[in-house]
Structure 1
Amino acid sequence: MKQSALILLFFGLLGSTIYAQSLSKAQVADMERLFTEHYKADRSGATVMITQKGKTLYHKAFGMANLELNVPMRTEHVFRIGSITKQLTAAAILKLAEEGKLNIQDELTQFIPDYPTQGKKITIEHLLTHTSGIQSYTDMPEWDAATHRKDFTPEEMIKFFKDKPMNFDPGTEFRYNNSGYFLLGYIIEKASGKTYGEYIRDAFFKPLGMKNSYYGDTEPLIKNRASGYSQGNEDGTQVNAPFLSMTQPYAAGSLLSTVEDLNLWSQALHNGKVLQPASYQAMITPYRLSTDAPNRYAYGLQIGNLLGSPTIEHSGGIHGFLSDMIYLPKEELCVAILTNCDCEPPSELTPRLAALVTGRPYQPEKIPVDAQQLEQYVGVYENDAKEQRVIRLENGQLTSQRAGSSKFNLFAYGPDQFFFENSFARIRFEKDKSGKKVIQAIVDDRSGANLKWIKTDKPLPAARQEMQRSEAQLQPFEGEYELAPGFSIKVTREGTQLFGQATGQPRFEMYSESPTRFFLKVVDAAIEFYPDEKGTVNKMVLFQGGREMPGVRK
């Protein structure tokens, strides 16, 4: 399960530690400092485990497993893992293919004959790679809080979304899709003769010794099950996560596990104990779109890069829980983090831990550069898709901002080389043959794609001008606007300053540029409100990254 947000908020907590002596004291100290900055002992918690070549390097619990009963987190606590489930679902499909019970090029209608494919050929591979074009039920307006509480059979859930229009032709685009993985679970049941939960248990949990992993039913008593939380108000108050029937995430995000079991799974998957070599290679190879557009998603896994080292990874998010797991095949290193609040994505922490263990600097040592020298990099850069990246010099500080994204400070660490503040991204400026004129920039981020940006002669965009608005003029915009099921922006006011806050995120300031339109400084985005003929505001639209996302007042 997955949900986008504007800005990330980081909390912190404390816990107990198990770690091997193969980590240096400096590495352990850095890890401790990183976690104590992010987690607090009296709030929702997390567990983390780092293994390399099957050896445990670090295993720790932070914070609270249950806030109401005052139960501290322990390393053996069990969490919902959300979309990390998808890699087990994908492996199950490939295992059934090895057994001759299906082929990934089989059409969906071979298993669901009456599925309305709207004249399109939808294969199992399209479902595995989020390229089917089927609408994701978690993006549908009908998937609201009341629906979240209902139990569905697989057939009933498929009926819930199957008649929706296709988003695009199969194989032409990547769009994250929980409906596709729900359908894969149903195909697993048809091909194996078992329920999805039974098949995963018998094929993976039992033979691999994953003794604390389960299908996420809410009824059975599960020892050491952690409670899930959400952020309540902008003051950071935490509340019990809203209820979600686990019949709905199913093969897209229903499983429960521990960081120890996930490390067992990772070792088995990446060392030939789950799939045959050809199947495993298919699972970790990004799907090639028919349009040849860049794509990093394979089968239930995303392929990336960490400062020159390939990565295989996936995150998860479900009511009350967030998770992340990253594997570095060259180093045989696995980092898994599970959290029991859907308020802080641990995907910011897993690569930092992996970088610490492998001795890669998250932020290199800064080299001072004279402001006059920095002027040569200023300009508007464009990539092949005609997207813009603006490099500015503001009060002696070089910055980079891609359209629709946050602004980052840039710091030099070598000749024509800069790193993004609080990011793994690096940017290298290249010059013409004379060595005097900057002609392009190469951005190396976690995708590993080495993205090229050509410097243009276009003028820098003019800075947005703020308008002063009175309290009475701002008051009509206050309220909560739902952009998607479970995701809204709450607009509040303090005097003549308007604020917005996305679900589970910190609030941000909004600056007026017209009577109804406001821009953000923390990210390249704008929000416009639409009063009716009586002046009542019931609708807003978020403009970000070329997308228009409407929201309706709740």
Structure 2
Amino acid sequence: MAIVILKEKGKLNYDDNISKYIPELSNYSNITIRNLLNHTGGLPDYMEVMDSTFDKNKIATNKDIISTFAKLKPQVLFEPNTKWEYSNTGYALLASIIEKVSGMSYGNYLFNAIFKPLKMTNTFVYQRRFAPKKVANYAYGYVYSDSLKKYLLPDDLAETKMVVWLDGVVGDGTVNSTIIDLLKWDRALYADKLISKESKNEIFTSPELNDKSEINYGFGWFIEDNGVYGNLVKHAGGWPGYRTIIERHTQNDKTIIVLLNYINDNTYIPITDLRKMLYNIKPINFVELKTEEKEKFAGEYKNSKGKIVKLIYENGTLYRITDDGEKFELKAISKTKFQMMKVEPDVFYEFTIKDNKVEKYIMTQPEEKVVRELIRLQ
């Protein structure tokens, strides 16, 4: 949003080459601010580049990213706007452009342009190793150590030590906030307080690549046309000790915000369940079927493209078998309808029986607007 505000003030244009603001990166002069915003620039990941080249006894900053890329000139992964690939490098460079154009530090500009106007009093850019300060009620992020059988700060584990040497980098992280403050930001996005309606439309519009294919990502937001919940704009985040998500249901004026500060191998954000709670969708009631009522659905089915899908009945359970042999339980909702378990969004199988024989099933994934018919092979 900070880039959008600067654009509206006439300080920059989305189609400016990044080398206009970061001349050290003249080797990447065909990459634009727009490419960085929607992850179509092709720059390699700075963490991977610096992992083997940077002195980790120091704390890296955005200037170190720029100097590393200027010196090593790592090859782009693809030509700009020919492909989409998420790039933390791009957003770190956007922060540097914000600093260059505004004449302020990244944190100060966000405070003045966004946090202060929206009264986001508990939101700030914070680098607790690079620029430590006391923060009341700060939620430290913890990771679980399987070997030590306890939660620790990621600073104390070799495999998550990057949180220390990368703590000086801003743009792809380091904004600390609360659920209440993020809700204030969400509310502001429905009004024209910070940016115009036209700019918001551009933020939440899927652009085209050179081959005219659309990418479901605007300026910093994933965009989804959901078959159940309508238009969604969302973004998740993660760093050792933290998991986050904000999901805005713009047609229905509903928002999900989750902030987690402890992580183990089983940590996940139950977004499907949260959506159902938000819309008062009742949990599915499963039913128990007899053996003969389930095993008759086992067999091979063919879709319209000729692909064969196998269902098996094993130890009292009906399974869908994937091409690599993985099994997914089909759990009965009725005598002819089943839900595939451990798959999100929800997937359903509804069978058609004629003259006591299973003819076919219809596989649906309502949120993805997927409907497929598969015919039973006799």
* TM, length-normalised to structure 2: 0.80
Alignment of 1:172-187 (within 5 A): 172-187=82-97
Structure 2 CA distance for partners of 1:115 and 1:426, relative to 1, 3 Å: same
Q: Distance in 2 between matches of 1:181 and 1:213?
A: 19
Q: Report the alpha carbon displacement of residue 295 of structure 1 after superposing the two structures with TM.
A: 3.2
Q: Distance in 2 between matches of 1:203 and 1:401?
A: 53
Unmatched 5+ stretches in structure 2: 156-162
1:123 aligned to which of 32, 36, 39: 32
- 1:241 correspondence with 2:154: yes
The 8 Å contact of residues 297 and 358 in structure 2, kept in 1 or not, is answered as: no
Q: How many residues of Structure 1 are paired with residues of Structure 2 in the alignment?
A: 356
2:233 aligned to which of 312, 315, 331: 312
Q: Report the counterpart of residue 169 of structure 1 in structure 2.
A: 79
1:341 aligned to which of 243, 262, 265: 262
The 8 Å contact of residues 337 and 350 in structure 1, kept in 2 or not, is answered as: no
Alignment of 1:43-58 (within 5 A): none
Q: Which amino acid aligns with 2:298?
A: E
Q: Report the counterpart of residue 196 of structure 1 in structure 2.
A: 106
Q: Report the counterpart of residue 297 of structure 2 in structure 1.
A: 374
1:253 aligned to which of 159, 168, 173: 173
Q: Report the alpha carbon displacement of residue 184 of structure 1 after superposing the two structures with TM.
A: 0.7
Of stretches 235-244 and 101-110 in structure 1, the one that deviates more from structure 2 is 235-244
Unmatched 5+ stretches in structure 1: 1-90, 459-554
Of stretches 289-298 and 212-221 in structure 1, the one that deviates more from structure 2 is 289-298
Higher RCO (C-alpha under 8 Å, 6+ residues apart)? 1
Q: Distance in 1 between matches of 2:138 and 2:333?
A: 46
Q: Distance in 1 between matches of 2:126 and 2:42?
A: 27
2:201 aligned to which of 276, 281, 289: 281
Q: Report the counterpart of residue 392 of structure 1 in structure 2.
A: 311
Alignment of 1:36-435 (within 5 A): 91-117=1-27, 121-140=30-49, 142-143=50-51, 150-161=58-69, 163-218=73-128, 219-233=132-146, 236-242=149-155, 243-245=163-165, 247-292=167-212, 295-304=215-224, 305=226, 307-343=228-264, 348-361=269-282, 363=284, 365-366=286-287, 368=289, 370-371=293-294, 373-375=296-298, 378-379=300-301, 390-395=309-314, 397-400=317-320, 407-413=327-333, 418-422=338-342, 423-427=344-348
The 8 Å contact of residues 37 and 90 in structure 2, kept in 1 or not, is answered as: yes
Q: Distance in 1 between matches of 2:285 and 2:212?
A: 34
Q: Distance in 2 between matches of 1:402 and 1:292?
A: 32
* Aligned-residue RMSD, C-alpha: 3.6
Q: Helix, strand or coil for the counterpart of 1:252?
A: coil
Of stretches 233-242 and 398-407 in structure 1, the one that deviates more from structure 2 is 398-407
Q: Which amino acid aligns with 1:208?
A: L
Q: Which amino acid aligns with 2:339?
A: F
The 8 Å contact of residues 128 and 300 in structure 1, kept in 2 or not, is answered as: yes
Structure 2 CA distance for partners of 1:221 and 1:235, relative to 1, 3 Å: closer
Structure 2 CA distance for partners of 1:195 and 1:308, relative to 1, 3 Å: same
More strand by share: 1
Q: Report the alpha carbon displacement of residue 346 of structure 1 after superposing the two structures with TM.
A: 6.6
Q: Report the alpha carbon displacement of residue 203 of structure 1 after superposing the two structures with TM.
A: 0.7
The 8 Å contact of residues 358 and 376 in structure 2, kept in 1 or not, is answered as: no
Q: Distance in 2 between matches of 1:402 and 1:298?
A: 33
More helix by share: 2
* TM, length-normalised to structure 1: 0.56
